[in-house]
């Protein structure tokens, strides 16, 4: 069912260390080293996206596996932060040969008219990402307050839902970690669960529990990666979904 994405092994010492090393003034130094259901509509509040959708696509190949993620920002996080997170997540998937297009979609059906891309039919290669505030996450929260979870996603099911509990990201950000990068990696983790299943790995993005060291590396721009057969599995999963979409478009059911 849901998959945990826990921080239980992040020690207090780890947090103190992060507070010392993570501030932006040190980031330049770090960079120099390496250079449930369908989305539920809710009232649109302040801080939401502008009245036109954004769709960012990065392609390395002419016809790479392509995934579309429809983003529902129920937590009303800053549009700049969300955009940066999408860029980081785009790069994470680009590294494994999967192109991601992000559609920032409205939270109210009355506003769909201003988001024409979000009105398009969702197919098997579309996912729905819900970024949830505490009050919404509380209704779904898994034990140990995970950062998020993804339901199992059958390959022929359109717009499978991923959930990110943004207040947990925010709590880590208050301890000195970069919210934009943490959000990006949390999204990547849950997207991967949707595509290749609930399993975790000993290292990398798909660790079941990120250590303080993992969090620091993410913060510094020295990210963990998908490991082992995960890159190939991700590409294959997206390609199978794209073929289903194509078959459907050709009337093959
Ligand atoms: Zn997980």
11 C-alpha to center of ligand 1: Å?
Answer: 19
Architecture of the domain defined by 12-249: 3-Layer(aba) Sandwich (3.40)
pTM of the model: 0.77
Q: What is the pLDDT of residues 179-229, one digit of tens each?
A: 999 999 999 999 999 999 998 999 999 999 899 999 999 999 887 999 999
228 C-alpha to center of ligand 1: Å?
Answer: 16
Report residues near ion ligand 1: CB below 5 Å: 3, 5
Q: Where are the domains of the chain?
A: 12-249
Query: With the CA atoms of 63, 57, 31 and 84 taken in that order, what torsion angle do they form, in degrees rounded to the nearest 10?
Result: -160
Phi, psi of 164 (to 5 degrees): -120, 130
Q: Answer yes or no: are the C-beta atoms of 235 and 65 closer than 8 Å.
A: yes
- The alpha-carbon radius of gyration of the chain (Å, integer) is 18
The pLDDT of residue 217: 95
């Amino acid at each position: 069912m849901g998959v945990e994405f826990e921080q239980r092994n992040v020690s207090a010492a780890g947090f103190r260390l992060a507070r010392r090393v993570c501030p932006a003034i040190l980031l330049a130094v770090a960079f120099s080293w390496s250079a449930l259901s369908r989305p539920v509509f809710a009232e649109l509040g302040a801080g939401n996206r502008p009245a036109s959708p954004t769709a960012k696509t990065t392609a390395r190949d002419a016809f790479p596996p392509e995934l579309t993620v429809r983003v529902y920002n129920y937590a009303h996080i800053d549009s700049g932060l969300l955009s940066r997170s999408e860029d980081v997540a785009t790069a994470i998937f680009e590294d494994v040969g999967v192109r991601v297009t992000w559609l920032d979609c409205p939270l109210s059906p009355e506003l769909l008219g201003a988001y024409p891309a979000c009105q398009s039919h969702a197919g098997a290669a579309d996912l729905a990402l819900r970024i949830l505030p505490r009050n919404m996450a509380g209704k779904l929260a898994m034990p140990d307050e995970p950062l998020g979870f993804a339901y199992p996603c059958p390959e022929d099911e359109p717009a499978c839902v991923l959930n990110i509990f943004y207040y947990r990201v925010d709590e880590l950000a208050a301890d000195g970690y970069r919210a934009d990068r943490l959000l990006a990696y949390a999204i990547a983790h849950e997207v991967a669960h949707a595509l290749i299943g609930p399993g975790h790995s000993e290292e990398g993005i798909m660790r079941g529990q990120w250590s303080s060291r993992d969090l620091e590396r993410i913060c510094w721009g020295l990210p963990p990666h998908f490991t082992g057969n995960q890159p190939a599995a991700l590409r294959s999963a997206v390609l199978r979904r794209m073929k289903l979409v194509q078959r459907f478009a050709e009337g093959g059911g």
